[in-house]
Amino acid sequence: MSSFGQICAENLEKVRARKPLIHNITNFVVMNSTANVLLAAGASPVMAHAANEVEEMAGFAGALVLNIGTLTDIWVESMLLAGRKCTELKTPIVLDPVGSGATALRTITAKRIIEETSVSVIRGNASEILSLRNTDSKTKGVDSLHSVDEAAEAAKALAIELGTTLAITGPVDLVTDGQRVLRVANGHPLMSYVTGTGCAATSVIGAFAAVDDDTVTATATALAYYGLAGEKAGAMSNGPGSFMVNLLDALYNLTPEDVKAGSKISADA
Amino acid sequence: MSSFGQICAENLEKVRARKPLIHNITNFVVMNSTANVLLAAGASPVMAHAANEVEEMAGFAGALVLNIGTLTDIWVESMLLAGRKCTELKTPIVLDPVGSGATALRTITAKRIIEETSVSVIRGNASEILSLRNTDSKTKGVDSLHSVDEAAEAAKALAIELGTTLAITGPVDLVTDGQRVLRVANGHPLMSYVTGTGCAATSVIGAFAAVDDDTVTATATALAYYGLAGEKAGAMSNGPGSFMVNLLDALYNLTPEDVKAGSKISADA
Amino acid sequence: MSSFGQICAENLEKVRARKPLIHNITNFVVMNSTANVLLAAGASPVMAHAANEVEEMAGFAGALVLNIGTLTDIWVESMLLAGRKCTELKTPIVLDPVGSGATALRTITAKRIIEETSVSVIRGNASEILSLRNTDSKTKGVDSLHSVDEAAEAAKALAIELGTTLAITGPVDLVTDGQRVLRVANGHPLMSYVTGTGCAATSVIGAFAAVDDDTVTATATALAYYGLAGEKAGAMSNGPGSFMVNLLDALYNLTPEDVKAGSKISADA
């Protein structure tokens, strides 16, 4: 029951009370599950990607989530338009660099978004995050080749270089802005057998960032809440199908008291 | 056990017997869940949006469902092509003006579809429906700011103005063609915690409109059937994840006798 | 416990050990469920469709799955680019001609893919497969008008003509390369009440083709594994909602021993 547990409880309460509008420009695979995760968490999701609409929609949002899976050039332009609008309005932008490092289009796009907009948080697996620094890093599709530990020092340096908060998710998640390093030990192995669980985590970070100006605590508490729901779901599931169902139920049912007691967030010395 | 219950039972039987092809041009978030709802109800869903295909596909359809979530200009053109084809063939067109009032693109598109095609039914929340009349109406993303009651008188006037049937869904749904007003009291609060439940309701209206020429009774009985399935699902669910699973099961398992007994449709004096 | 059961067990073991990357260019309706089916089976799915990315992504893949539901011209070009790359690399290409025969765009596209790339396996319902030969064949949307039996002789001839393996799925699936004919009797009627179960079967064929060079046994064993999971799921489900959940759990939980014992593959004399 660290003070992080307290912050996690408060952020969850704020999300449910304020129901922040989270504008997602995300990939086709996860749109439905992402929207359902955000609704279960208490936030209000919207998906909109038309160039002639995204600035207007982003203008209402509590946070913008950009996810580069199933990307095309037209979508990149819309992401940049929405991202610049949120940069102007100081609305948090959360980036999920799905498959960055796997193809040039994805790596280049992730870097462009980082350069041309003010990204608050980037969440990915270790390979994806490393690809943002090191062009030699290779990812196999969207799966990670690197461990979270290998990526820790690189992440701190990269967070400073980019002036953003990084979240590298794995068995234990690592969150850093280059100064502080938080680790989140919540989660369940079945998460890797359901598509879009990482993408949905990114959107939950968006919801928490909409109510908590400290992007490090917003990110870590979002991951703890989400991972704790995964633990509850995993304990009662027979496989990935029932896991996803139970994950949504758990996200909906977890109380601030539950997350205060169950979140496993620790700070590096 | 009103006569509306009898009509609801008959319409459900007809959908299952005839398995009408429902052509959906809908948003990316709900394509999967909409198709699953239509299949569970007994209809035959198809999704097709290419400009060089939609007229041919719409030509086979028992109803066309147009849904403006995740819209772009190219999709608008396809919706209009398919809509004009169905207008020509007198095939029912059901419109879901998702987020109309929230952005100019959506409001303008909804109005264009209404002007350029012969829309039989429009289903939305109160803000979306009001936005079709009043440019001052604002929606917060795709959520409603107005109650169904506020919208009732406006809906009757708007239905007459547009020559269409309107369905404003909420805790109690309101269906009107400007003359008759039906209210449907079926439903469950968990519906608002699952994305696309409104969009799927619109497609079920399409399926019922394919077998019932009276768009007012088709719409009200579709909403009663769908809402009753929601009640059954809600009674046995632990949250939004299990709710969606149970909703599909209930749509599949409800018998004509069940809907005759359980539908809660009433007519205003 | 035929030798086919043994091959089925070995292929499942290989998929889980090698986790082949399956590159899907597929329709919007089924992206999420297809990815989840592949993950549950033990494969590694990726969806990518940008013209400036598909060749690079296809270059990493163990198999390429092309699915022509929700098609547009831009997607056709990407499918051809990825398909030519895999032809060059001798990577298996599996085609799902969704709705071929229903509209000209789909029929023409399916034929173009077959002509311009080296397709290893085509899986569809009988109408779709027949449409590839006979322009008089009509499909109603994406549902089949023809039985598997009617299609058997046509399939053998067509397989020879096209130099590919054909899989016609129905109550009993038929797999032929024009010489051998295998029949797979696994499956469950609820599969036809869930959208994308056929599309996901096609992707599972891709996963098995990535580890088994004999496309006839790869296809039949993939369908047996998938159909057996459907049987397990169907036995414990209340309708199509719970069926899909249980299908994913069963795909995840079935052991090589289970599929060796439960697969129902027979060879025609």
Cβ contacts of residue C88 below 8 Å, gap of 6+?
A: none
User: Which residues in A130-154 are b (16+ Cβ under 10 Å) and which e?
Assistant: bbbbeeebebbbbbbebebeebbeb
Q: Is A28 on the interface with B (CB under 8 A)?
A: yes
| Per-residue pLDDT at C65 | 98
First to last CA, chain A: 18
Give the chains touching A; criterion: ≥3 Cβ pairs < 8 Å. Answer: B, C
Smallest CA–CA distance, residue C239 to chain B, in Å, is 4
Query: Comparing C-alpha atoms, which of B101, B91, B43, B42 is closest to residue B66?
Result: B91
Element (H, E) at A122: strand A121-124
Please state whether beta strands A173-176 and A181-184 pair in parallel, antiparallel, or not at all (unpaired). antiparallel
Query: Comparing C-alpha atoms, which of A103, A101, A49, A37 is closest to residue A78?
Result: A49
Q: What is the dihedral of CA C188, B240, C195, C247, to 10 degrees?
A: -30
Write out residues in chain C with pLDDT < 50, as ranges. 1, 137-143, 145
Element (H, E) at C12: helix C3-18
Q: Which residue of A has its CA nearest to C42?
A: A193
| CB distance C244 to C33 below 8 Å | yes
Q: Is B263 on the interface with A (CB under 8 A)?
A: no
| Per-residue pLDDT at C130 | 86
Q: Which residue of C has its CA nearest to A68?
A: C48
Cβ contacts of residue B39 below 8 Å, gap of 6+?
A: B45, C192, C193, C194, C195, C240
Beta carbon pairs, A and C, within 8 Å: 97
Does the beta-carbon distance from A36 to B242 stay under 8 Å?
A: no
pLDDT class of A133 with cuts at 50, 70, 90: confident
Give the chains touching B; criterion: ≥3 Cβ pairs < 8 Å. Answer: A, C
ipTM of the complex: 0.94
| Strands across the sheet containing A181-184 | A44-47, A21-25, A63-67, A93-96, A121-124, A165-168, A173-176, A181-184, A265-267
pLDDT in tens, C136-194: 544 444 445 456 666 677 788 889 988 999 999 999 999 999 999 999 999 999 999 99
Please state whether beta strands C181-184 and A181-184 pair in parallel, antiparallel, or not at all (unpaired). unpaired
What percent of chain A is modeled with pLDDT above 70? 93
Q: Is C163 on the interface with B (CB under 8 A)?
A: no
Q: Is B269 on the interface with A (CB under 8 A)?
A: no
Query: Comparing C-alpha atoms, which of C202, C201, C117, C199 is closest to residue C164?
Result: C117
Give me the helices (H) in B211-262, please: 215-235, 240-253, 256-262
Sign of dihedral through CA atoms A145, A148, A152, A158?
positive
Report the SS3 class of residue C163. coil
Residues A219 and A263: their CA atoms lie apart, in Å, by 13
Q: DSSP code of B142?
A: T
Give chain A positions within 8 Å (CB) of B99. Answer: 46, 48
pLDDT in tens, A48-57: 999 999 999 9
Q: Is C138 on the interface with B (CB under 8 A)?
A: no
Q: Which residue of B has its CA nearest to A247?
A: B241
| Per-residue pLDDT at A130 | 86
What percent of chain A is modeled with pLDDT above 90? 86
| Per-residue pLDDT at C2 | 52
| Per-residue pLDDT at A135 | 52
Q: How far is CA B47 from CA A30, B33, B67, C50, C203, in A?
A: 18, 12, 11, 21, 20
Chain B residues 45-74 within an 8 A CB cutoff of chain C? 45-53, 56-57, 60
Does the beta-carbon distance from C60 to A105 stay under 8 Å?
A: no
Is A169 among the annotated ligand-binding positions? yes
Give chain C positions within 8 Å (CB) of B40. Answer: 193, 239-241
CA angle C167, A70, A162 (to 5 degrees): 150
How many CB atoms lie under 10 A from the CB of residue B179? 9
pLDDT in tens, A161-202: 889 999 999 999 999 999 999 999 999 999 999 999 999 999
Query: Comparing C-alpha atoms, which of A125, A180, A61, C207 is closest to residue B103?
Result: A61
The mean pLDDT value for A228-234 works out to: 98
Report the SS3 class of residue A20. coil
Query: Which of A19, A47, A253 best probes binding to B when mutated, by most B CB atoms within 10 angstroms?
Result: A47
Give chain A positions within 8 Å (CB) of B193. Answer: 39-40, 252
Element (H, E) at C63: strand C63-67
Element (H, E) at C149: helix C148-162
Q: How many residues does chain A have?
A: 269
Q: Which tokens sit at A245?
A: 């169902």
pLDDT in tens, A154-163: 788 889 988 9
Q: Which residues of B are annotated as a binding site?
A: 47, 123, 169, 196
Element (H, E) at A124: strand A121-124
User: Which residues in C196-224 are b (16+ Cβ under 10 Å) and which e?
Assistant: bbbbbbbbbbbbbbbbbeebbbbbbbbbb
| Per-residue pLDDT at A2 | 52
Query: Comparing C-alpha atoms, which of B114, B161, B221, C51 is closest to residue A72?
Result: C51
Is C191 among the annotated ligand-binding positions? no
CA angle C2, C168, C93 (to 5 degrees): 90
Q: Which tokens sit at A125?
A: 């697996």
Does the beta-carbon distance from C45 to A244 stay under 8 Å?
A: no
For the packed helices B3-18 and B197-209, what is the interaxial angle rounded to 10 degrees?
A: 90
Nearest CB to A60; choose among B72, B140, B242: B140
pLDDT in tens, A14-29: 999 999 999 999 999 9
| Per-residue pLDDT at B140 | 46
Does the beta-carbon distance from A248 to B240 stay under 8 Å?
A: yes
Q: Which tokens sit at B137?
A: 């109406």
Residue A153: pLDDT above 90? no
Write out residues in chain B with pLDDT < 70, as ranges. 1-2, 134-151
- Identity of residue B234: G
Q: Which tokens sit at A49?
A: 């990607």
Q: Is B27 on the interface with A (CB under 8 A)?
A: yes
| CB distance B96 to B202 below 8 Å | yes
| Per-residue pLDDT at B133 | 80
Residue A1: pLDDT above 60? no
| Per-residue pLDDT at B139 | 42
C65 strand-pairing partners: C24, C94
Residue with tokens 């209930």: B250
For the packed helices A31-41 and A3-18, what is the interaxial angle rounded to 10 degrees?
A: 100
Residue A141: pLDDT above 60? no
| Per-residue pLDDT at C146 | 58
Q: Which domains does chain C have, with CATH numbers?
A: 3-267 (3.40.1190.20)
Phi, psi of C122 (to 5 degrees): -120, 125
Taking CB atoms within 8 Å and a gap of at least 24, the contacts of A258-261 are A258/A228, A259/A5, A259/A8, A259/A9, A259/A12, A259/A221, A259/A224, A259/A225, A259/A228, A260/A1, A260/A5, A260/A6, A260/A8, A260/A9, A261/A1, A261/A5
Smallest CA–CA distance, residue B43 to chain A, in Å, is 22
| Per-residue pLDDT at C147 | 60
Residues A242 and A77: their CA atoms lie apart, in Å, by 37
Smallest CA–CA distance, residue C255 to chain B, in Å, is 26
Residue with tokens 């239905």: B159
Give chain B positions within 8 Å (CB) of C99. Answer: 46, 48
Element (H, E) at B5: helix B3-18
Q: Is B197 on the interface with C (CB under 8 A)?
A: no
Does the beta-carbon distance from A36 to B99 stay under 8 Å?
A: no
Is A236 among the annotated ligand-binding positions? no
Residue with tokens 């939950």: A204
